């Protein structure tokens, strides 16, 4: 039995980052799935491990770690297996630049769409307004309470949705330009930046069909398919339990044409 337990939801940003890093390194771990839509992350058993009630979290012996990108860096440094940080200082800077950009800028924008169109409506359907209101009152972090309220009760403003849409557009264009320069995102070797980016971007051909497709972003598509072919990625996405994770199968298609923006909304999850 491993002394590492990863508490995670679907392979996706943010849970998928440490899941995939552990699998790329070949590190054995206990997988503890938490159903975010069923509020498993707010139950006393989990709050005893991570009092913030956020996912993912990892325990290694007596140590409890949070923050998906920081966990990935720990995993890369603490365990044997393939190196996921390049040796060159400039490349290491680029890995960190991209991870910061994705975590602070791009991921919150994707997340706003995901929570508005998937998490909020599905949680409301499953539990009803009264139960959700009681549940939200128990969430430890005020910022997570606000995110739940906005998602469930449709309170994201038009202005903030438009700004998130603009950021996604800018982010996809930057990503495409960077991937035109080299095989992997931040250096000539597969790194934590690719693990981070894949978790954020794997479903873009479905969620942003007008922005990410084989005509407009051929380098992003090449990169996504190359990561999807890796055995660790296949094994990681098998741990998914909802239609969210099965979106990755879009990458089995050899050619994905540009489609209308409304098809992203129709696909349910951004
Ligand atoms: N910056 C943190 C974010 C953790 C976070 O907020 N995770 C979301 C899921 S992606 C969560 O736990 N949501 C639970 C909730 O809001 O109830 C990380 O990267 O680990």
* Residue-wise pLDDT tens digits, 4-40: 999 999 999 999 999 999 999 999 999 999 999 999 9
The answer on pLDDT for 90 being more than 80 is yes
Predicted confidence band at 268 (pLDDT cuts at 50, 70, 90)? low
Ligand 1 atom nearest the C-alpha of 67 is 20
Partners of residue 59 on adjacent β-strands? 5, 64
Residues 113 and 213: beta-carbon distance below 8 Å = no
User: What percentage of the chain reaches a pLDDT higher than 90?
Assistant: 95
235: its two tokens: 């094994």
Going along the chain from its start, the domains and CATH numbers come out as 4-78 (3.40.30.10), 90-266 (1.20.1050.10)
CB of 41 sitting under 6 A from ligand 1: yes
pTM over 0.95: yes
- Tell me what pLDDT residue 149 has: 96
Region 229-253 average pLDDT: 96
Ligand 1 atom nearest the C-alpha of 39 is 17
| Dist CA 13 CA 47 (whole Å) | 21
Ligand 1 atom nearest the C-alpha of 66 is 20
Residue nearest to atom 11 of ligand 1 (CA): 54
| Dist CA 224 CA 172 (whole Å) | 13
């Amino acid at each position: 039995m491993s002394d590492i337990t990863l508490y995670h939801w679907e392979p996706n940003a943010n849970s998928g980052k440490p899941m995939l890093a552990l699998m790329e390194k070949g590190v054995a771990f206990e997988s503890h799935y938490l159903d975010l839509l069923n509020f498993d992350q707010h139950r006393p058993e989990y709050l005893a491990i991570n009092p913030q009630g956020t996912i993912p979290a990892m325990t290694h012996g007596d140590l409890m770690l949070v923050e998906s990108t920081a966990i990935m860096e720990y995993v890369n440094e603490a365990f044997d297996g393939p190196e996921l940080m390049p040796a060159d200082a400039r490349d290491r800077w680029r890995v960190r630049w991209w991870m910061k950009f994705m975590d602070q800028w791009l991921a919150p924008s994707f997340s706003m769409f995901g929570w508005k169109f998937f998490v909020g409506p599905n949680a409301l359907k499953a539990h009803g307004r009264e139960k959700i209101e009681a549940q939200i009152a128990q969430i430890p972090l005020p910022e997570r309470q606000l995110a739940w309220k906005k998602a469930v009760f449709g309170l994201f403003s038009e202005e903030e949705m438009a700004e998130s849409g603009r950021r996604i557009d800018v982010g996809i264009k930057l990503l495409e330009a960077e991937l035109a320069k080299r095989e992997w995102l931040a250096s000539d070797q597969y790194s934590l930046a690719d693990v981070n980016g894949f978790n954020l971007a794997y479903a873009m051909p479905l969620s942003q069909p007008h922005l990410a497709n084989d005509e407009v972003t051929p380098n992003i598509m090449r990169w996504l398919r190359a990561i999807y072919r890796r055995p660790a990625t296949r094994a990681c996405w098998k741990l998914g339990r909802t239609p969210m994770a099965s979106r990755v199968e879009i990458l089995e298609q050899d050619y994905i044409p540009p489609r209308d923006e409304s098809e992203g909304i129709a696909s349910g999850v951004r």
